[in-house]
């Protein structure tokens, strides 16, 4: 791997396999990144605590908001009602972004030989709260616009909305690492993320598919428990209990899947931005 200036970029035009061979290699690299990320999680299971913190934080935040609505119910103030609604919509996204930022920071610690620490990583994430808040609000705004387009334009709107959603997800794939590692200003964080995605689009696609496959296999036992339980249940209560049991069994797999995605993302970021690999990924090469 060439150091310092970003990923190596070989030409696909005359090489063996041509364009499709290059695409196949890039996707293969992405799958291997997903597999190595699972190895990192096995070595450092503490990383999985960050998605749990995010879930608990969102639930606690919503509980506070519900309490605010209950208190404000006797107050005739449209401005207060609008403010509470805005907080209820944007707050969980901000809490999730904050937890993701902490996980990204902890993953870098692991790659640099340090044990992940929840408190240290949360403090590091909080130091970027203005950008994370701006990112959360932007995410809510774009998501609302895309949903409005989908709901107001029939089938055509759904198709266009799906395409735009995929484009937005690609453009913003590296936003959290860019915020955490570069302290990127609000005006450029999406642009910087888009440039990084351009350098690693094939590997990113392969990684997302690979992580998705691994995550599905991890939650499959929960799905099977739920399905078998529903089939065997003879009462509505039995069906409910079967679904609950399946969900409980699936939760660890869901947590692991979220964690794997961020581990691989930090590895890809380091490949693309710094031109070298974390030790756990040292024999992989970004093809550009």
User: Domain for residue 244, yes or no?
Assistant: yes
Domain that includes residue 200, residue range: 18-281
Report in angstroms the alpha-carbon separations of 285 from 198, 206, 275.
16, 13, 9
Q: Could you tell me if residue 77 is inside a domain? A: yes
CA 142, chain centre distance (Å): 17
Model pTM score: 0.81
Per-residue pLDDT in tens (0 to 9) along the chain, 288 residues: 333 444 443 334 344 444 455 567 766 777 777 788 888 999 999 999 999 999 999 898 888 877 777 766 666 666 666 777 777 788 899 999 999 999 999 999 999 999 999 999 999 999 999 999 999 999 989 988 888 888 877 778 788 888 999 889 889 999 999 999 998 888 889 999 998 888 877 778 877 888 888 888 889 999 999 999 999 888 889 899 999 999 999 999 999 989 999 998 998 898 888 777 787 787 766 544
Has residue 287 been placed in a domain?
A: no
Radius of gyration, alpha carbons of the chain? 21
Residue 136 lies in a domain: yes
* CA–CA dist 182, 207 (Å, integer): 23
Examine residue 143 and state whether it is found in any structural domain, yes or no.
Answer: yes
For the chain, what is the domain count?
Answer: 1
Q: Is residue 83 part of a domain?
A: yes
Give a yes or no: residue 245 inside a domain: yes
């Amino acid at each position: 791997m060439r150091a310092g200036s970003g990923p190596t970029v070989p030409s696909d035009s005359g090489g063996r396999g041509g364009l499709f061979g290059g695409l196949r290699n890039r996707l293969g690299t992405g799958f291997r990144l997903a597999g190595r990320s699972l190895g990192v999680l096995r070595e450092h299971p503490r990383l999985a605590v960050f998605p749990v913190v995010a879930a608990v934080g969102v639930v606690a935040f919503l509980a506070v908001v519900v309490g605010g609505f209950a208190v404000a119910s006797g107050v005739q103030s449209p401005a207060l009602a609008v403010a509470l609604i805005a907080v209820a919509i944007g707050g969980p996204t901000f809490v999730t972004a904050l937890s993701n930022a902490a996980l990204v920071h902890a993953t870098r610690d692991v790659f640099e030989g340090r044990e992940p620490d929840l408190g240290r990583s949360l403090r590091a994430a909080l130091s970027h709260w203005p950008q994370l808040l701006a990112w959360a609000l932007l995410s809510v705004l774009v998501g609302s616009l895309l949903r409005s387009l989908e709901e107001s334009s029939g089938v055509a709107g759904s198709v266009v909305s799906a395409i735009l959603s995929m484009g937005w997800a690609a453009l913003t794939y590296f936003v959290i690492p860019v915020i955490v590692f570069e302290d990127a200003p609000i005006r450029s964080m999406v642009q910087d993320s888009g440039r990084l995605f351009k350098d690693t689009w094939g590997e990113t696609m392969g990684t997302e598919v690979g992580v998705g496959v691994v995550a599905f296999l991890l939650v499959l036992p929960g799905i099977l428990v739920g399905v078998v339980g529903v089939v065997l249940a003879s009462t509505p209560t039995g069906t409910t209990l079967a679904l609950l049991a399946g969900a409980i069994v699936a939760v660890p797999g869901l947590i692991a899947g979220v964690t794997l995605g961020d581990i691989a993302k930090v590895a890809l970021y380091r490949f693309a931005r710094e031109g070298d690999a974390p030790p756990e990924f040292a024999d992989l090469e970004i093809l550009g």
